[in-house]
């Protein structure tokens, strides 16, 4: 007689496909998942508590370490919140530099996702292609601010460093290069039958569920909901540029894949326009008081990071340090739907679905 | 004396000083002007072109002074007039009217516009009505998307803030619920918006606010056997070495 029983399986927190120290405990009936419980907190550093002892400029490097694949957008959401509270004007050249680095960051972040997602599924070489091309962007950032991952680039009222001579030309050389590489990616991967069989129709949900779970970014738009904060609630200079918001229909891993690749194209489109309009001279820091003390009160500001809506809720009592600082991290919110998606799936699809959500654990735990 | 009066007095202090200085300046100007005209006359005799320039400069100075005076009076008039109503005031009025009609008159503690945050309509609601208000806002007011939940320790009390947005119209709303510091309870919004689940767990973990009605209220960031809630202002770590 065959004895059958439920199997309790622990995945992580050091499993390579969880992209960091994320753990998930699954119950298996044969190969089918019957229950999944995510366990987080292995990377919880208490950023929000630490921020209460620091002034606003000192908090900026801490934001680099939340979503370390997209530090530029994290920088922006914090300085943007403080600027909103203080009603500060940012010089045009500084705002252009911010926008350019944020869009480059989106491309770099999506490249990391594309490479590692395929690596998770079992394709080794795309990872090498993606990291080769991402290196160009990392080098551009390195030249701009001396760091490859944790940039600490933005300041309340502007940016720390002006673009070195010739930097903008290098960005404009990168755009056609990347466009060519995207065509190559499509040829290599996007039509691959085995790959399509692994991701089409997997991890499906509808628009109503996505909204109920507060999903954002590609996770929301794959269901056809047209909600990109760069268009819906424009910040920075985004209203000046023409670009499309790619949408899906089926809400599956395949649609999320298509959207992220298309978003790279749209970012390059924004970059092309930004470089043409880039002011040839000007300040990179606005008029900012010596001590940054936002008035008493509170704000919630949000921007579109590569992973979705990243928000910053500041409660100020008029001091140099925030009274309370809360980050709305898209990875944390998006991950919530995972247990629901996994039930009834096979164990092999766990990694496909988790990778499709696109999390960065530094941001899940904060 | 109320806070506002005190503030007004403080503000009027430097303004008065400024006036005094101006008066003094006015008293001294005739002498200076006399000197200037004497100088002017001597220059005029020597160089008519230079004299014309000096005259033009004096006229420009006078024009600037007049413009400044006009701007100051306009500013003063602006300060005394009541501030214009917020563009979001009708939105706030509509939502408060809906809640008063459908839930209860006393359900709202306060309703105001947060001007600092792009005129965000903000409500402070009583906890016992929060659950029915949440449902009302979602179903009747199209606030289908809960974008953020924050917990704040104000030392006198705790507070939970729900940031809502309607994806169709882009309308925004912040709803706050106050909780007692000793026995903090806020009705869970998880049955209304699934996204509240982990957010409320995080607030429970870090601030110790209990959410009755939550399906799975456990710690999420700190270890299960952790003592205390780190984001409380009076939090002392059990072991300071950790």
Interface confidence, given as ipTM, is 0.92
pLDDT at B75: 60
Q: Chain A contacts of B167, Cβ < 8 Å?
A: 211, 225, 227, 232
Q: Chain A contacts of B113, Cβ < 8 Å?
A: none
- Among chain B residues, the shortest Cα distance to A333 is held by B195
Domain residue extents for chain A: 43-329
pLDDT at B35: 45
In angstroms, the separation between the Cα of residue B117 and the nearest Cα of chain A is 5
| Conformation bin of residue A183: beta by default, left when phi > 0, alpha when psi is -120 to 50 | alpha
Is the backbone peptide bond immediately before A272 cis, with ω within 30 degrees of 0? no
Residue B45 has pLDDT above 80, yes or no: no
Q: What is the 3-state secondary structure (H, E, C) of B98-138?
A: HHHHHCCHHHEEEEEEEHHHCCEEEEEECHHHHHHHHHHHH
Kindly report the number of other CB atoms within 10 A of residue B109's CB atom: 14
Point out the least confidently predicted range of A293-297, A351-355, B76-80, B209-213.
Answer: B76-80
- Does B144 lie at the interface with A, CB-CB under 8 angstroms? yes
Is the CB of residue A327 less than 8 Å from the CB of residue A312? Answer: yes
- Among chain B residues, the shortest Cα distance to A87 is held by B116
Q: Where are the alpha helices (DSSP H) in chain A?
A: 47-51, 56-64, 71-86, 92-121, 125-145, 167-185, 193-199, 207-212, 218-221, 229-232, 253-277, 330-335, 338-342, 347-357, 361-365
- Cα separation of A350 and A27, whole Å? 12
Average pLDDT over residues B135-147: 93
pLDDT at B27: 46
- Of A46, A213, A326, nearest to B230 by CB-CB distance is A46
Handedness of CA A204, A210, A212, A215 (dihedral sign): positive
CB contact under 8 A, A225 and B146: no
Q: What DSSP state is assigned to residue A160? A: S
- Of B148, B198, B223, nearest to A300 by CB-CB distance is B148
Burial A263-285 (b: 16+ CB within 10 A, else e): bbebbbbbbeebeeebeeeeebb
Joined together, the tokens standing for residue B1 give: 């004396």
Joined together, the tokens standing for residue A331 give: 């990875």
Is the CB of residue A219 less than 8 Å from the CB of residue A248? Answer: no
pLDDT at B83: 73
Q: Give SS3 for B194.
A: coil
Closest among B72, B28, B206, B9 to A366, alpha carbons compared: B206
Strand-strand pairing, B120-125 and B172-179: parallel
**Tokens 């990778």 belong to residue:** A355
Question: Which residues does residue B47 pair with via DSSP β-bridges, in sequence order?
Answer: none
> Can you give the length of chain A in residues?
366
Consecutive sets of 10 residues in chain A, 366 residues long: mean pLDDT of each? 85 77 91 93 92 94 93 95 93 95 95 93 92 95 94 94 94 95 93 92 94 95 94 92 94 94 95 94 90 94 95 94 95 94 92 91 89
pLDDT at B71: 64
Point out the least confidently predicted range of A113-122, A245-254, B23-32, B171-180.
Answer: B23-32
- Does B178 lie at the interface with A, CB-CB under 8 angstroms? no
Q: Helix axis angle, A167-185 relative to A253-277, nearest 10°?
A: 150
Greatest pairwise CA separation for chain A in angstroms: 81
Q: What DSSP state is assigned to residue B82? A: P
Residue B32 has pLDDT above 60, yes or no: no
Q: Give CA angle at A117 (A114, A118), nearest 5°.
A: 90
CB contact under 8 A, B221 and A302: no
Chain centroid, CA A295 distance in Å: 30
If you count residue pairs, one on A and one on B, with CB atoms under 8 Å apart, how many are there? 92
Q: Give SS3 for B61.
A: helix
Q: What DSSP state is assigned to residue A346? A: B
pLDDT digits (tens, 9 = 90+) for B94-105: 899 999 998 888
Strand-strand pairing, B108-114 and B120-125: antiparallel
CB contact under 8 A, A49 and B230: yes
pLDDT at A51: 94
Closest among B187, B186, B162 to B175, alpha carbons compared: B162
pLDDT at A4: 80
CB contact under 8 A, A311 and B145: no
- Cα separation of A340 and B147, whole Å? 20
CB contact under 8 A, B147 and A311: yes
- Of B195, B219, B230, nearest to A212 by CB-CB distance is B195
pLDDT at B69: 67
CB contact under 8 A, B116 and A299: yes
Average pLDDT over residues B132-136: 94
Which residues lie closer than 8 Å to A48 by C-beta, 6 or more apart? Answer: A324, A325, A326, A327, A366, B206, B231
- Cα separation of A148 and A146, whole Å? 7
- Cα separation of A41 and A48, whole Å? 14
Regarding the domain with residue range B89-207, which homologous superfamily does it belong to in the CATH classification?
Answer: NADH:ubiquinone oxidoreductase Nqo5 subunit (3.30.460.80)
- Of B150, B153, B222, nearest to A41 by CB-CB distance is B222
Question: Which residues does residue B175 pair with via DSSP β-bridges, in sequence order?
Answer: B123, B162
pLDDT at B24: 47
Regarding the domain with residue range A43-329, which homologous superfamily does it belong to in the CATH classification?
Answer: Cytochrome-c3 Hydrogenase, chain B (1.10.645.10)
- Cα separation of B119 and B86, whole Å? 7
Chain centroid, CA A298 distance in Å: 25
């Amino acid at each position: 007689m065959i004895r059958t029983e439920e199997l309790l399986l622990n995945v992580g927190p050091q499993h390579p496909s969880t992209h960091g120290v994320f753990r998930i405990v699954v119950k298996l009936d044969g190969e089918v998942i019957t229950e999944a419980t995510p366990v987080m907190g292995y990377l919880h550093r208490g950023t929000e508590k630490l921020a209460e002892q620091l002034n606003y400029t000192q908090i900026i490097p801490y934001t680099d370490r939340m979503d370390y694949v997209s530090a530029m957008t994290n920088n922006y959401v914090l300085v943007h919140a403080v600027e909103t509270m203080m009603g500060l004007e940012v010089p045009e050249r500084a705002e252009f530099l911010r926008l350019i680095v944020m869009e480059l960051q989106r491309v770099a972040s999506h490249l990391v996702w594309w490479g590692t997602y395929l690596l998770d599924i079992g394709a080794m070489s795309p990872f090498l292609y993606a990291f080769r091309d991402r290196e160009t962007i990392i080098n551009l950032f390195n030249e701009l601010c001396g760091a490859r991952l944790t940039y600490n680039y933005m300041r309340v009222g502007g940016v720390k460093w002006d673009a070195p001579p010739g930097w903008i030309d290098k960005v404009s050389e990168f755009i056609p290069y990347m466009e060519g590489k995207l065509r190559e990616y499509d040829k290599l991967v996007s039509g691959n039958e085995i790959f399509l069989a692994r991701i089409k129709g997997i991890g499906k949900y509808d628009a109503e569920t996505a909204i109920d779970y507060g999903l954002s970014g590609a996770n929301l738009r794959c269901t056809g909901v047209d909600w990109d904060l760069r268009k819906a609630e424009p910040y920075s200079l985004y209203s000046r540029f023409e670009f499309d918001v790619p949408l899906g229909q089926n809400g599956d891993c395949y649609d999320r894949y298509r959207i992220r690749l298309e978003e790279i194209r749209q970012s390059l489109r924004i970059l092309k326009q930004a470089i043409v309009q880039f002011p040839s001279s000007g300040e990179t820091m606005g008029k900012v008081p010596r001590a940054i003390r936002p008035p008493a009160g509170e704000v919630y500001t949000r921007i579109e990071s590569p992973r979705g809506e990243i928000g910053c809720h500041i409660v100020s009592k008029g001091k140099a340090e925030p009274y309370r600082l809360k980050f709305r991290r898209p990875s944390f919110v998006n991950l919530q739907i995972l247990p629901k998606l996994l039930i009834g799936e096979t164990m092999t699809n766990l990694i496909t679905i988790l990778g499709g959500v696109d999390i960065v654990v530094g941001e899940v735990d904060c | 004396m109320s806070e506002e009066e005190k503030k007004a007095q403080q503000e009027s202090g430097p303004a008065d000083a400024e006036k005094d200085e101006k008066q003094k300046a006015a008293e001294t100007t005739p002498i200076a002007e006399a000197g200037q005209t004497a100088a002017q006359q001597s220059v005029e005799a020597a160089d008519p072109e230079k004299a014309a320039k000096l005259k033009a400069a004096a006229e420009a100075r006078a024009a600037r002074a007049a413009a400044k005076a006009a701007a100051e009076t306009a500013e003063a008039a602006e300060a005394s007039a009541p501030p214009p109503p917020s563009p979001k005031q009708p939105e706030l009025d509509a939502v408060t009217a809906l809640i008063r009609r459908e839930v209860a008159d006393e359900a709202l503690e306060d309703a105001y516009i947060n001007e600092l945050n792009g005129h965000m309509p903000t409500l402070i609601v009583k906890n016992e009505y929060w659950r029915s208000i949440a449902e009302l806002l979602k179903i009747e007011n199209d606030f289908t998307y809960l974008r953020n939940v924050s917990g704040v320790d104000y030392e006198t009390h705790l507070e939970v803030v729900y940031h809502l947005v309607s994806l169709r119209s882009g309308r925004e709303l912040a709803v706050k619920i106050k909780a007692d510091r000793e026995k903090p309870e806020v009705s869970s919004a998880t049955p209304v918006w699934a996204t509240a689940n982990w957010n409320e767990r995080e607030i429970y973990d870090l601030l110790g606010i209990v959410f009755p009605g939550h399906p799975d209220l456990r710690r999420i960031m700190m270890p299960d056997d952790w003592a205390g809630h780190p984001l409380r202002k009076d939090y002392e770590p059990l072991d300071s070495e950790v």
